[in-house]
Chain A
Amino acid sequence: MKSITLVTFAALMTLVFVFGSRSSAQDVSQIKYPKLNPLEIPNVKKIELDNGLRLYLSQDKSLPIFRASVRINIGSYLEPADKIGLADITSSVLRTGGTKKWSGDEIDEMLEAVGASVETSMGLATGTARINVLSEYTFLGLEVLAEVLRYPVFEQDKIDLEIVQQRSAIARRNDEALPLAIREFRKVIYGPKSVYARQSEYATINAISRDDLVAFHKKYFTPDNIQIGIWGDFDEKKIVKKIKKLFGDWSRGTVEIPKLPKVDYKFVRQVNYVEKNDVTQTNILLGHIGGLVTDEDYADRIVMNNILGGGFGNRMFNTIRSKEGLAYGTSATYTANIAYPGFFYGYVGTKSETTAKAIKEVIKVIKSMQTDPPTEEEMDRAKNAYLNSFVFNFDTKGEVVTRMMSYDYHGLPEDFLQQTKEKVEQVTAEDVVAAAMKNLRPDALQVVVVGKGEEFDMPLEELALGPVQTIDITIPSGEEKTELAITPENLEKGKNVLTEAAEAHGGLANFKKVSSLHTKGTLTIITPQGEMAIPFEELKAFPDKTRQEISLMGRTMLIIRNGSSGWHTGPTGELVPFSEEEILEENIDAMRNTIQMFQQIDSPEIQFVFDGSGEVDGSPVDFVVMLDKSGNSICRLAFDSKTHKLAAKSFWGTTMVGEGNIEERYAEFTQVEGILIPFKTFRNLDGKKCDYTEISEFNVNANVSADQFEKPTE
């Protein structure tokens, strides 16, 4: 039976072929296209309220739907480095955590009862709120929006809920390969600690309190930072009146919002390997920094992108996917943003066994943009793909309104898109080659490879694409935050633990005798490339004077702190004064000094709060948090429960390799002038070894003269 069926099919097939080849040959180039019906660019009306809030309206009565998109011109770049996640958590709890008028649960009920939604979110450089309601519930949507933006109360219960969500996201962030690859790629391009790539950790989430949310909201959610775009089925007069009523009496902000930091990119050739063993496919992203939409050659790059790697039938797609069969997903684009540089990337997802081959092929294709000028056919396709699809920039009111808000905020001309289109029309093959020569650097690529290395077709070192660095994506553990309880008992207990520790370290009286120190030693920095030892010499006059001399690559660098002033050697050898903020940081750092810490036991400026018992490196310890007079944490201390010796110290700070959560461990406790001091200190940054200090000379109450802490004359 089966063979008969197949024969029948074969016969049928032939019939179709014959029929087809006789009468159906369609030369589509012969088709005459009628003129495109005129495009009516949706009319957007702009109104600015007295308090700076900007409103954009576009009517569309075709369906009974009302929509709004609110642009809040702030972003996660504004959150402090020790509280990454603050902006995101604030935006979530803004919506879920209730308002003066309604609890968060009530808002959920009100909206979901009618299939409406009001949602808020936060990006790197923009916050967003959206309303989507049937037009009969327009005012409900607007009332909720106004309440949420203006009067959030940040219920603690909903903060706790959001913290669970955030912790879950951290726990799951290495599960899917592509998001992981994109995250690590952004880090190698913009810098792992930069606002453009940094990520939240358990520690940064744990450091966030309700007060932080309240302060972030108060500081940044102000009408002059907000643009509301509205489209759909509404009556303009009524809407404007309603919005004025809801937002009109909101006062302007008082702080100037800092701009996004500059991106300082250095071209580097490097391969970054991330081991992921539960995959059969390697995700590869390679590239470097990108550009801005306002760059001279932006239009040339649009055409370049279309030829190289955007859409169907570009060079990447044709080569990597169709010809070589190396991938399902492959693309390459030189991206551009309005506010900060985008990046250039080539992407390919290929089986482990063709990893090296795919990397080489992708680089070949990128290079071809510089060596093989676009053919006439490529130019024709790349330009027309942009020009002919231009109408799709205007086919919904929503995209016209939101684009206008963005241009308006960034000061781009309203017709920026039309101007770009006119430029694209003029782009020549020479322009594309010039753009490729100027912008693409196939000789200086950062390559991120996420996959199962043992199955690769070649060790990554042999690719000769620069040094191979392994990126450790282990998620730094973070104990669940337990609220620090500043109770009289804990204060008393904290002081007791400290006093016992002071005894164990030689006695409080001996510590109080110390007025100055002279120390010599070595700081050794641990980097992926190896260790680097830096000799140093330090003079200290308690409490607020320090002079450090360090010897870095044959150069001596000076760091002086003297009360509220200080100086350090700058990059070209000159002395640079510390900023106010830096001095503050230096003084807090001094307070963490073990000797100074014991000296401050009775100081009214400092509080020691007992924070429970636990373990450090397998030994039982008592935790004490050291707070300054305004309640800011200076550090968290762990003392061995039996010996009472200092076991660990953790705090947020800066090391030679970057900023993060620092953890100290000690060894070689040595007795000097009656006090017991560790001669070796090991430090971890965000859970990874970062440096260690060894003391070779330690003199208590050494001779120091005041002029050693003055600004030296050059």
Chain B
Amino acid sequence: MKKYHFTFQLLAVLAILLGTSPSYSFDFSKLENSVVEHTLENGLKLIILERHDAPVVSFNTYADVGSVDDPKGYTGLAHMFEHMAFKGTTTFGTKDYKAEKELIEIEDSIFMELRAERTKGFWADSARIEKLEKDYEAAREASYELVIPNQYGQTVSREGGVGLNAGTWADRTVYFISLPSNKVELWMALESERFLNPVLREMYKERDVVAEERRMRTESSPIGRLIEQFLGLSFLAHPYGIPGIGHMSDIQYYSRKEARAFFEKYYSPANLTISIVGDVNTKDLIKMAEKYWNRIPYRPKPARIATVEPVQTGERRMVIEDPSQPWYLAGWHIPENTHPDRPAIDALLDYLAIGRTSLLYKKLVKEEKMVAQVSGLTGFPGEKYPGMILLYALPAPKVSNTDCEAEILAEVERMKEELIPEDEVEKIKARAKAQFINGLSRNSGMGFQLAAYQNYWGDWREMFNELNRINAVTAEDIKRVANTYLTSKNRTVIMMNTVES
């Protein structure tokens, strides 16, 4: 009864507010029609959107390779290569490439000997290891003498580049930068060069940097420790279960040879998509791209991962005892993002766990005041292959994970039993629309999305189709996917419980 009254009041309020404002719907087709796609002879794809609001341009180089593609025993290699892509080329980042190349080869051969000896374990010769370690150190220093450190980064920042960075995900590796729009040719020259002629210099120094990155993100952070365990528990076969940063022992193990092979296989032009959004002239841009990027010879697009995660046959559960405050995390396997069930799963998550009006927030935060935070996400840790839907909660002081879980799972059960009200389905769609339009406002974000849709769906136009898919979702669909996926035997739960150190 109260609910009805409230809804009535709300509608009245909305009517007043909206009555005074112009109501029109935005025409996406205009934006969609301004996007230009061009494929080079070597298979590299360009997606260009001219926007002349300010004399700036954002570039995304999107490689369809991620940590799922790490070879067995070489976890973290995709990420390691991403670091190496900033080290220069045969002409960039070196004082004398010919001399450097020789020193790099010496460095390699010593390291290969060292790692072979180390891998012997019990049978290893410790004196030999000690000597090799000294030689290795000396070789690293010798080759470093010929390096011009960070010349790539220095050059683009000198020319006004901002946001220079890259990220390695489970599914993809993306290199970003925004530049004043008169520096397009500089970007073309440098960026094409680093995927044509990368020299993996300083690799054996950079691995120490990556090891520190692992210590920072995973080992020294409670949430990092939690996620690593959760992934391992969730996936038996699929590489989604392996941490993208890599295991510490693998980080210490790989050599330039494997990194180079990885590059050759996965950085073929046919596996790259470049999106460019900003103050550019499409015609000139394509001409320039042909000049610079066509230098990379064609190589085939690498195959997708064939491993399919076996169906989970029972709940998996783990308790981590940790000195930090408690966390609760539950996940269920769901299909990849191109699967027809995904819009309904995303709608389900929105209604269940996102925002102050979601079921979980209303129940656990507002009403029971038993958690400080509760939320969730879909497509974890990736979207290209079947991943997970996650729910997580941070219990309030003195509240146990077990108590939180009971409340969370009760709300999950409601999703399976009850049809959500029609006006709530409309709200989910309204939120999706607002979120979509907001996502268009930044050049870099827009470029990233275009490239992502191109890679997941094979067509960037699917980005503009996203709202249609969400709009087709019904309350019945949401209930159906809840029953299909949110089952107890498909569930993985981790609790991080506090113990005094």
Chain A residues with CB under 8 Å of chain B are 6, 9, 12-13, 15-17, 19-21, 23-28, 31, 33-40, 60, 62-65, 96, 102, 105-106, 108-110, 112-116, 132-140, 143, 160-161, 164-165, 167-169, 171-172, 174-177, 235, 242, 277-281, 311-313, 317-318, 321-323, 325-329, 349-351, 380-381, 384-385, 387-392, 394-396
Q: Are A391 and B56 in contact (CB under 8 A)?
A: yes
User: What are 18 of the A-B contact pairs (CB < 8 Å)?
Assistant: A15-B297, A19-B295, A20-B197, A26-B91, A37-B55, A136-B23, A168-B373, A175-B325, A278-B322, A278-B323, A281-B219, A311-B153, A322-B202, A323-B149, A384-B160, A385-B157, A385-B160, A389-B180
Give the docked Cα–Cα distance between A133 and B6 (Å). 23
Q: Are B209 and A318 in contact (CB under 8 A)?
A: no
Give the docked Cα–Cα distance between A164 and B371 (Å). 8
Q: Are A28 and B212 in contact (CB under 8 A)?
A: no
Give the docked Cα–Cα distance between A396 and B446 (Å). 14
Give the docked Cα–Cα distance between A25 and B149 (Å). 19
The one of A33, A110, A138, A384 in contact with B13, judged by C-beta atoms closer than 8 angstroms, is A110
B307 close to A (CB within 8 Å): no
* In the complex, residue of chain B having the shortest beta-carbon distance to the beta carbon of A317: B150
Give the docked Cα–Cα distance between A471 and B29 (Å). 60
Q: Are B209 and A9 in contact (CB under 8 A)?
A: no
Report the minimum CB–CB distance from A349 to chain B (whole Å).
5
Q: Are B18 and A140 in contact (CB under 8 A)?
A: yes
Q: A65-B437, A115-B435, A328-B212 known; A391 and B160 CB under 8 Å?
A: yes
Give the docked Cα–Cα distance between A143 and B441 (Å). 24
Q: A137-B21, A312-B154 known; A391 and B55 CB under 8 Å?
A: yes
Q: Are B431 and A17 in contact (CB under 8 A)?
A: no
How many residues of chain B are within 8 Å of chain A by beta carbon? Answer: 105
B158 close to A (CB within 8 Å): yes
* Chain A positions within 8 Å of B206 at CB level: 322, 325
* Chain B positions within 8 Å of A113 at CB level: 10, 14, 357, 427, 430
Q: Type the 1/0 row for B205-230, where 1 means its CB is closer than 8 Å to any CB of A.
A: 11111111101100111110000000
Known: A322-B209, A389-B157. 12 other contacts (CB 8 A): A24-B197, A24-B295, A26-B189, A26-B292, A33-B186, A64-B437, A106-B10, A106-B13, A160-B369, A327-B209, A329-B212, A389-B180
Report the minimum CB–CB distance from B260 to chain A (whole Å).
6
* Chain A positions within 8 Å of B14 at CB level: 110, 113, 140
Q: Are B372 and A169 in contact (CB under 8 A)?
A: yes
The one of A106, A137, A312, A390 in contact with B18, judged by C-beta atoms closer than 8 angstroms, is A137
Q: A112-B357, A325-B208, A351-B212 known; A36 and B323 CB under 8 Å?
A: no
Q: Are B189 and A28 in contact (CB under 8 A)?
A: yes
Report the minimum CB–CB distance from A297 to chain B (whole Å).
23
B161 close to A (CB within 8 Å): yes
Q: Are B260 and A13 in contact (CB under 8 A)?
A: yes
Q: Are B438 and A313 in contact (CB under 8 A)?
A: no
Q: Are A172 and B151 in contact (CB under 8 A)?
A: no
Give the docked Cα–Cα distance between A378 and B293 (Å). 30
Report the minimum CB–CB distance from A243 to chain B (whole Å).
13
The one of A60, A137, A177, A312 in contact with B157, judged by C-beta atoms closer than 8 angstroms, is A312
* Chain A positions within 8 Å of B427 at CB level: 112-114
Q: Are B24 and A136 in contact (CB under 8 A)?
A: yes
The one of A60, A281, A323, A384 in contact with B159, judged by C-beta atoms closer than 8 angstroms, is A384
Q: Are B431 and A112 in contact (CB under 8 A)?
A: yes
* Chain B positions within 8 Å of A329 at CB level: 212, 216
Q: Are A321 and B216 in contact (CB under 8 A)?
A: no
Give the docked Cα–Cα distance between A525 and B20 (Å). 67
* In the complex, residue of chain A having the shortest beta-carbon distance to the beta carbon of B54: A395
B318 close to A (CB within 8 Å): no
Give the docked Cα–Cα distance between A619 and B63 (Å). 68
Q: Are A106 and B6 in contact (CB under 8 A)?
A: yes
Q: Are B437 and A108 in contact (CB under 8 A)?
A: no
Q: Are B397 and A25 in contact (CB under 8 A)?
A: no
Report the minimum CB–CB distance from B303 to chain A (whole Å).
13
* Chain A positions within 8 Å of B189 at CB level: 26, 28, 31
B432 close to A (CB within 8 Å): yes
* Chain A positions within 8 Å of B369 at CB level: 160-161, 164
* In the complex, residue of chain A having the shortest beta-carbon distance to the beta carbon of B147: A322
B126 close to A (CB within 8 Å): no
Q: Are B264 and A12 in contact (CB under 8 A)?
A: yes
Q: Are A172 and B18 in contact (CB under 8 A)?
A: no
Q: A33-B186, A64-B26 known; A38 and B160 CB under 8 Å?
A: no
Report the minimum CB–CB distance from B475 to chain A (whole Å).
16
Report the minimum CB–CB distance from B156 to chain A (whole Å).
8
Q: Are A326 and B54 in contact (CB under 8 A)?
A: no
Report the minimum CB–CB distance from B77 to chain A (whole Å).
14
The one of B18, B155, B181 in contact with A136, judged by C-beta atoms closer than 8 angstroms, is B18
* Chain B positions within 8 Å of A350 at CB level: 212
Q: Are B193 and A26 in contact (CB under 8 A)?
A: yes
Report the minimum CB–CB distance from A583 to chain B (whole Å).
40
Q: A106-B10, A112-B431, A349-B212 known; A278 and B182 CB under 8 Å?
A: no
Report the minimum CB–CB distance from A395 to chain B (whole Å).
4
Q: Are A279 and B185 in contact (CB under 8 A)?
A: no
Q: Are B183 and A33 in contact (CB under 8 A)?
A: yes
Q: Are A143 and B6 in contact (CB under 8 A)?
A: no
Q: A20-B196, A137-B18, A169-B372 known; A112 and B158 CB under 8 Å?
A: no
The one of B178, B190, B297, B366 in contact with A161, judged by C-beta atoms closer than 8 angstroms, is B366
Q: Are A116 and B434 in contact (CB under 8 A)?
A: yes
Report the minimum CB–CB distance from A476 to chain B (whole Å).
14
Q: A328-B213, A349-B212 known; A108 and B357 CB under 8 Å?
A: yes
The one of B10, B17, B158, B297 in contact with A388, judged by C-beta atoms closer than 8 angstroms, is B158
The one of A21, A177, A242, A380 in contact with B158, judged by C-beta atoms closer than 8 angstroms, is A380
* Chain B positions within 8 Å of A24 at CB level: 91, 193, 196-197, 295
Q: Are A106 and B9 in contact (CB under 8 A)?
A: yes
Give the docked Cα–Cα distance between A632 and B155 (Å). 64
Q: Are A139 and B53 in contact (CB under 8 A)?
A: no
